[in-house]
Structure formats: C-alpha cells, structure tokens
Amino acid sequence: MARVVVSVMPKPEILDPQGKAVLGALPRLGFSGVSEVRQGKRFELEVAGEVTPAVLAEVEKMAETLLSNPVIENYVVSVEA
C-alpha cells in the first residue's frame, strides 16, 4: 500500500477568490507578514502495491482528466514516503 498525492493549484494568472479571502482575513485576525495566499486542493490516493512508473502515469492521467481542470489549474503528482 502506497500513498500518492496530487496537489492541484489555480494557475498563477487565474484569479483565486478563496486565497484572496484568506489573505484579507489574516490582518483582521492579527496576523502579518503574509503577502500572498493561493488556495488549492490536495488529493491523497491509496494505491495497492508499489508505485511503479506505470502507476504514476495512471495517476497523472487521473489528475488531468478528473482531479484538475487543466485550463485553469496546475497539478503536481508526488509519492509520500
């Protein structure tokens, strides 16, 4: 059993209202020093057996077709130790 993580973030040129809302709330809560916040999604997938290149390629395809919208989002696939 291995865990593969897919991180999905809005592309830099895409407006991120959720991130902006968090950024606006921080000073009201007394926090300072943060200049930008982006909010995205994190998927943790449990896959049976070892994480082979074939498994990673399959997860890449899942990320592209189901987990992200490639028009407005970037994704990164990584294996968790």
6-21 in b/e burial notation, b at 16+ Cβ within 10 A?
bbbbbeeeeebeebee
Restricting to residues 24-53, which ones interact with a copy of itself according to CB under 8 A? 25-26, 29, 31, 33-49
56 counts as binding a copy of itself under rule CB under 8 A? no
62 counts as binding a copy of itself under rule CB under 8 A? yes
CA dist 3 and 30 (Å) reads: 36
11 counts as binding a copy of itself under rule CB under 8 A? no
Residue 8 near residue 67, CB atoms below 8 Å: yes
Residues contributing to the site for a copy of itself (CB under 8 A): 1, 7-9, 19, 22, 25-26, 29, 31, 33-49, 55, 58, 61-62, 65-67
